[in-house]
Amino acid sequence: MDMCYAIPGKVLDIKDKIVTVDYFGERKRARNEFHDLAPGDYIYAQGGFVIEKVLPDKALGVLESWQEVFSNLREADLRLAERPKNMYEIANSVRQRNTGNACCVHGIVEFSNHCVQDCLYCGIRKSNSSVKRYRMSADEIVSACDYAVNELNFKALVLQSGEDPYYTGEMLCDIIRKVRQVCATLLVVSVGERGVELYKRLYEAGSRGALLRFETANPGLYGKYRPGKILEDRKRLIKSLKELGYLVMTGFLVGLPGQTDEDIINDIDLTGKLGGEIFSFGPFLPHPGTPLNGAARPKLERALETIARARISYPDSKILVTSALETLDKDGARRGLLAGANSLMINVTPDRYQRLYEIYPGRAGTGIMVSKRIESAVALLKSLGRAPSDLGL
C-alpha cells in the first residue's frame, strides 16, 4: 500500500451542510462547506470535514486497491480487541466498538520557535537563551504544506508555532488562503493565545481546526507553570474557538510535577467539557534549559492510563498519540494505539528547522527522513489493523 492517509467515501445523503458518507459499508458523517456535492459523488474527508471531491474513476481505482486490505485490517483490529483483560485492553475494545478501525493521520508544520510566553515546562520559552530561533517565511510555509499534501498525501495539516506576534493576523490569513489554494487539506492552527478576533479571521481565511491545550485543569498549577497567565482565560478562548465553528483539539500535560491522580481525572473531564473533538494528552518531558530541568519523567503507564480513562469516559472521541509519548518510550505509539488512541501526527517540518523546535529534548523522529517516518507509521497502523479512513463527525 502506498503512502495514503485517507480512503475515499461515497456520498449517500446530504442535509444542509452534513453529508453521510459510505466507507466499505460503514456510514460516517462529515461537514461540507466548500464543495458542490450530490449523492453518488466520491470525496475525501478528514477530521469530519469534506476536503476534496474525487473523480469517480480515480476513487474507484483507490477503493479497489483497498477493498481486500480493508477487510483484512478490520478483522485484525477486531481480533486484537477481543476478550479484554486489563484496563488498556478494555479501552481498546471500547475504541473498536465505537470508532471502528479508522485512524486519522495528520501532518504538522512547526513554522516558528519564537515565543513571548515563559511556560516553565517548555523548551522554547522566552527565557531559554540557548535556543537558536527561527521563523519560516510565508513562502516556506506554503511550500512545506504543498509538499506535505501534494507529494506526501496528507489530508490534514497542523500549523504550529510558539506564541509569536511577529506573524500578524493579516500574515497568517494570507498564509492560510495560499495554502488552501494549493492544497486540499483540513488546516488546523496552533498558535497559542491570540485574540478571538484573530482566530475569527483565520477561520474566515479557511482554517477549520484549532489546537490549543489548556495544559492543566488545576488553576494553582496553571498559574505556577504559566507565569502571569490565568486558566480561566485559556478556557474562555477554547470555548470561543468552538463557538466560531472550529474543530477543537485540546488536552493537557501528563506528569507535571505536583499533578495528582485527581487532577488527571479533572483534566480528562475538562477536555470533554470544553467540547474537544480531538484529545491531545502528552507526557511532560523535562527540558534541560528550563526551570523544571530536574523533574522526573512520568512513567509510560501513567500516560497510557490517561488515554485509557479518556477513551472509557468518552467512547467515541478521537484521541491522539503524541510524539511526546513516542519520545517517552520507543513503543509508546503502539501502546497508546492499543490503550484507546486512534489518531497520529507526523512531523513534516523541513529538516533544517525540525531539530530547532525543541519543546522537549530528544524528540522521537527528529533527524529521520520523513519518508522513513511515514513508512514506519503506516507499517504500525497496518500491524494493528487500523485504516486511514475518516473518523467522521
From the list 28, 95, 194, 213, which residue makes contact with ligand SAH (rule: CB under 6 A)? 213
The set of cell numbers assigned to 169 is 493576523
* Locus of grid cell 500516560: 303
The set of cell numbers assigned to 204 is 474566515
C-alpha–C-alpha distance, residues 305 and 208, integer Å: 30
Stretch binding ligand SAH (CB under 6 A), from 8-16, 67-75, 160-168, 332-340: 160-168
Minimum distance, C-beta of residue 62 to ligand SAH, in the bound complex (Å): 34
What is residue 321's three-state secondary structure? strand
Q: Which is nearer to ligand SAH, 54 or 253 (CB)?
A: 253
163 near ligand SAH, rule: CB under 6 A: yes
192 near ligand SAH, rule: CB under 6 A: yes
From the list 156, 173, 359, 377, which residue makes contact with ligand SAH (rule: CB under 6 A)? 359
Minimum distance, C-beta of residue 217 to ligand SAH, in the bound complex (Å): 13
C-alpha–C-alpha distance, residues 114 and 132, integer Å: 9
DSSP character string of 150-167: IIT--SEEEEEESS-TTS
C-alpha–C-alpha distance, residues 175 and 369, integer Å: 25
Count of residues engaged in binding ligand SAH, rule: CB under 6 A: 19
235 near ligand SAH, rule: CB under 6 A: no
Interior/surface letters 356-386, b for 16+ CB within 10 angstroms, e for the rest = bbbbbeebbbbeeebeebbeebbebbeebbb
C-alpha–C-alpha distance, residues 115 and 123, integer Å: 10
* DSSP strands (E only) in 170-302: 186-190, 209-211, 247-254, 278-283
Give me the residue whose beta carbon is nearest to ligand SAH: 192
C-alpha–C-alpha distance, residues 345 and 357, integer Å: 15
Minimum distance, C-beta of residue 1 to ligand SAH, in the bound complex (Å): 31
Residue 229: phi and psi, rounded to 5, are: -110, 155
248 near ligand SAH, rule: CB under 6 A: no
360 near ligand SAH, rule: CB under 6 A: yes
From the list 190, 216, 218, 366, which residue makes contact with ligand SAH (rule: CB under 6 A)? 190
Minimum distance, C-beta of residue 169 to ligand SAH, in the bound complex (Å): 16
From the list 70, 121, 246, 314, which residue makes contact with ligand SAH (rule: CB under 6 A)? 121
DSSP annotation of 132: P
Residue 362: phi and psi, rounded to 5, are: 70, 30
357 near ligand SAH, rule: CB under 6 A: no
Interface mask toward ligand SAH for 282-321; x: CB under 6 A: x-xx-x----------------------------------
Residue 371: phi and psi, rounded to 5, are: -65, -35
C-alpha–C-alpha distance, residues 376 and 383, integer Å: 10
Q: Which is nearer to ligand SAH, 162 or 332 (CB)?
A: 162
Minimum distance, C-beta of residue 82 to ligand SAH, in the bound complex (Å): 34
The set of cell numbers assigned to 305 is 492510563
A 10 A CB-CB count for 191 gives: 23
From the list 156, 295, 324, 345, which residue makes contact with ligand SAH (rule: CB under 6 A)? 324
Minimum distance, C-beta of residue 192 to ligand SAH, in the bound complex (Å): 3
122 near ligand SAH, rule: CB under 6 A: yes
Stretch binding ligand SAH (CB under 6 A), from 92-100, 118-126, 139-147, 175-183: 118-126
Point out which residues bind ligand SAH (CB under 6 A).
121-123, 160, 162-163, 190, 192, 212-213, 215, 253, 282, 284-285, 287, 324, 359-360
